[in-house]
Structures are given as structure tokens and as C-alpha cells.
Amino acid sequence: MRQPAIPRLENHGFWGGAWPTQSWAPRSIVPLPRSARSVHPWLARAFSVESVRVRERHTANKENVMKRSLVVIAVLVVAAWTIGRLQGQSADGKVVFASPSHAKFEEMPNAKGQVSMASIWGDSNTDAHGTYTKFAPGYDAGMHTHTNDVWIVVIKGAYLYKDDAGEKRVAAGDFLRVPGGHKHWSGGDKKEGALFYEEGSGKFDFVPAK
């Protein structure tokens, strides 16, 4: 049987090696088995780099999924709180209508006839609530805090407000929110006093500042 011709070798001098003069090139690239990668360190490095990239993409995807999940949870919590709060305002599902001209005002204890309130929904003595509140002309509440958040919309006159950031005259149609625990001063306009809608996130209290 005729033996196949063996390509002639030439010495390339600088590298000190002999290579066949016959040109050749692989027709396709076949992945090497794991046992062969030690012979080709560049291939092992390529596999390592690609593995790192895959892990980074996987980690980034997990972080994005977690962020989206946290946003969804936050929205659901706020929605649940809002629904519960609205249900507390009107447990029987009826429409609530009120007018300050027909409301029944009661004087607040220890206010010396200077402050009166009329309940609209909820119970200011125990839980979240909404009331009409009146300040007599020139009323001075002094520096104080409330345990829970308070929202105010003035209907008539002006609610006078002051804290470390400055003074505000909250006139008819204006809105004011006072966070729970925030030290402030409040009072009524010297001539007209103040009539306003007041809403509390919890039981109403008055804590004089020390």
C-alpha cells in the first residue's frame, strides 16, 4: 500500500522550531472536551471569561427582579392602608356629607372656650378621624406637638402656624400638613379666628412642648 506523503519541514530560525510548509486550516471549530483544555490555556481563559459574564448577567437579572418585587410590595402596602383607612371612615359604605353650618360643635377640654370641634367621621378620642375645628379670634395654642399626623384645610378666617422654619398664614382654601411629633405653634386670626377641616391619622392629642 502506498504511504501518504509527509509534508517537508523547514526550520524557521527565530523560533527554533520546524513546521510543515504545507498550508492547512480547519474547516470548522469543534469545542474541545474539558480534559483537552489544559493543552490550550487560551481556550480555558475564554471559557472562564464567558462564565463570569454569564454570572454577572444572572446577578443583574436577579437584582432587577428583586427591585421590581419591592416596588410592587410597597404599592400593595400603601393600597391596603388606604383601603383600610377609607373603610374606617365609612364602615357601612354610605356617602358622608357634612356642612359646618349644621355641625354640632363641642368645646375642647382645657381650651377655656377657645377651641371647639364637630365630628364628621371616626372618633378623635380613639382612632383616625375627621372634624370641623374652630379657633376663637386671637387664640394662642402655644408650642406643642401631636402624636399623629394632622391635615388641615381652612374654610374661613386664617389658621396661624409657626415652627423653626418660619411662619405661615393658612388662609381659606389653603392646605397644611403637620407630621406627628413635629413641634409647632398655632393660633387663630385676631379678627376672624379660624374654621377648618381637620383630619388625623390616629387619636388626637395635644402635647405642650417642654
| Mean pLDDT, range 124-136, rounded to an integer | 97
Please report how many Cα atoms fall inside a 13 Å half-sphere around the Cα of residue 132, on the Cβ side. 15
Report pLDDT for 15.
46
Report pLDDT for 13.
46
pLDDT score of 202 more than 70: yes
User: Considering the entire predicted model, what is its pTM?
Assistant: 0.58
Report pLDDT for 93.
81
| Mean pLDDT, range 58-63, rounded to an integer | 70
Q: What is the pLDDT of residues 6-46, one digit of tens each?
A: 555 555 444 444 444 444 445 555 555 555 445 456 555 65
Q: What is the pLDDT of residues 66-120, one digit of tens each?
A: 666 665 565 555 544 444 455 455 556 889 999 999 999 999 988 999 999 999 9
Calculate the average pLDDT of the chain: 79
CA dist 90 → 85, 98, 112 (Å):
9, 13, 32
- What does the H/E/C string look like for the chain? CCCCCCCCEEECCCCCCEEECCCCCCCCCCCCCHHHHHHCHHHHHHHHHHHHHHHHHHHHHHHHHHHHHHHHHHHHHHHHHHHHHHHHHCCCCCCCCCCCCCCCCEECCCCCCCEEEEEEEECCCCCCEEEEEEECCCCEEEEEECCCCEEEEEEEEEEEEEECCEEEEEECCCEEEECCCCCEEEEEECCCEEEEEEEECCCCCCEECC
pLDDT score of 55 more than 50: yes
Confidence bin at 207 (pLDDT 50/70/90):
very high
pLDDT score of 206 more than 90: yes
Report pLDDT for 129.
96
Confidence bin at 210 (pLDDT 50/70/90):
confident
**140 or 81, greater pLDDT:** 140
Q: What is the pLDDT of residues 152-200, one digit of tens each?
A: 999 999 999 999 999 999 999 999 999 999 999 999 999 999 999 999 9
